[in-house]
Amino acid sequence: MEKVKRFKVAVVQAGSEVMNKEKGVKKTVRLIEEASQQNAKIIVFPEAFIPAYPRGMSFGAVVGSRSDKGRKDFFQYWDNSITVPGPETDEIGKAAQKAKAYVVIGVIEKDDHSSQGTLYCTALFFGPDGQLLGKHRKLKPTGSERLIWGEGDGSTLPVFETPYGRIGSLICWENYMPLARAAMYDKGVQIYIAPTADARDAWFATMQHIAVEGRCFVLSCNQYSTKDMYPEEISSRKEFEDLPEELTRGGSCVVDPLGNFIVEPVFGKEEIIYADINLDKIAESQFDFDVVGHYSRPDVFQLIVNEEKQQNTIWR
């Protein structure tokens, strides 16, 4: 595989077509095409871009009870989530092929192994040939997310070898899990992709820390979303009255391997941000710190990663 040291990446800061996977796929395809016109070789989308990050929605649940209206909200969310692979991934793959780019996108995935009842917050990876390379399911949903998303396992912790370096991803607050980061570093991740729903100031310090710790380029991608993007018919609509009009302010950014912003966090709008990457900067940065090389101590610290798919039933 011939390596390309200098190339452009695109980080798509945009809001979802909430609870509408068909419109979500169309918007995704349009934005991939727009980024490709700037010759972006890696195009990144936010967490849960299709069908949405359900910010502000309770699904009618409080401790000890659920509501019928909330179940209908969940059904709408479930019904607009996607199977992987499926017709939606086919369309995104075609767009990646047309763009001749790697595409990483956050989706909500229906489990297609058994009941299909469980949803996962997932990052999908597409190659420039249009093929679905693989996926990463979020290992630990945060807070109330645990009500609506299941947990991934170690079978979906990929890092992909590409002409543009090794690409991998952890989603949102997984990036606060030191051992998850350590697993990514040990796989040699160079383009570290962090789709998120977090736009607090502390998040940007985390992105800079990861870049310095892993000596990698970090692409952080968040949505810009407002209350009017959510359909009127969801039962949680009344709860939105106390929320600010701007639900997610954005904050997408790109950081170099020494922790410097190549692109500062962008707030308050939908925008595709672009950055020029030079992979030589990784080796330069590792002169004095290589977290899994000369700065590691495997005689003192070791990490065991279970990459086996976890199953309820094993058929022999």
pLDDT tens track for 223-242: 999 988 888 777 766 777 77
Q: Is 187 left (phi over 0), alpha (psi -120 to 50) or beta?
A: alpha
- Active-site option among 121, 172, 216, 221: 172
When pLDDT is cut at 50, 70 and 90, the band that residue 213 belongs to is: very high
Please say if 72 is a catalytic residue. no
> Within 3-52, where are the H helices?
21-36
Mean pLDDT, residues 21-33: 98
Please say if 138 is a catalytic residue. yes
Q: What is the predicted pLDDT for the residue at 1?
A: 79
- Active-site option among 21, 27, 138, 281: 138
Whether the upstream peptide bond of residue 257 has omega within 30° of 0, thus cis, is no
Whether the upstream peptide bond of residue 158 has omega within 30° of 0, thus cis, is no
The average confidence (pLDDT) of the chain is 94
Q: Which residue has the higher pLDDT, 311 or 23?
A: 23
Please say if 253 is a catalytic residue. no
Q: What is the pLDDT of residues 62-102, one digit of tens each?
A: 888 888 888 999 999 999 999 999 999 999 999 999 999 99
Q: What is the pLDDT of residues 238-268, one digit of tens each?
A: 777 778 888 999 999 999 999 999 999 999 9
Q: What is the predicted pLDDT for the residue at 68?
A: 86
Q: What is the predicted pLDDT for the residue at 176?
A: 97
Mean pLDDT, residues 3-12: 96
| DSSP string of 234-275, one letter each residue | SGGGGGGGGS-SEEEEEEEEEE-TTS-EEEEEEESS-EEEEE
**CA-CA distance, 261 to 310, in Å (whole number)?**
38
pTM for this predicted structure: 0.95
- Active-site option among 47, 88, 109, 213: 47
SS3 content of the chain, % helix, strand, coil (to 5): 30, 30, 45
For residue 308, what are the CA distances in angstroms to 83, 152, 155, 220, 305? 21, 11, 5, 28, 9
All domains in the chain, ordered by first residue = 6-285 (3.60.110.10)
**CA-CA distance, 94 to 103, in Å (whole number)?**
11
Q: What is the predicted pLDDT for the residue at 180?
A: 98
- Portion of the chain with pLDDT greater than 70, in percent: 98
Q: What is the pLDDT of residues 186-195, one digit of tens each?
A: 999 999 999 9
Q: What is the predicted pLDDT for the residue at 85?
A: 96
**CA-CA distance, 34 to 32, in Å (whole number)?**
5
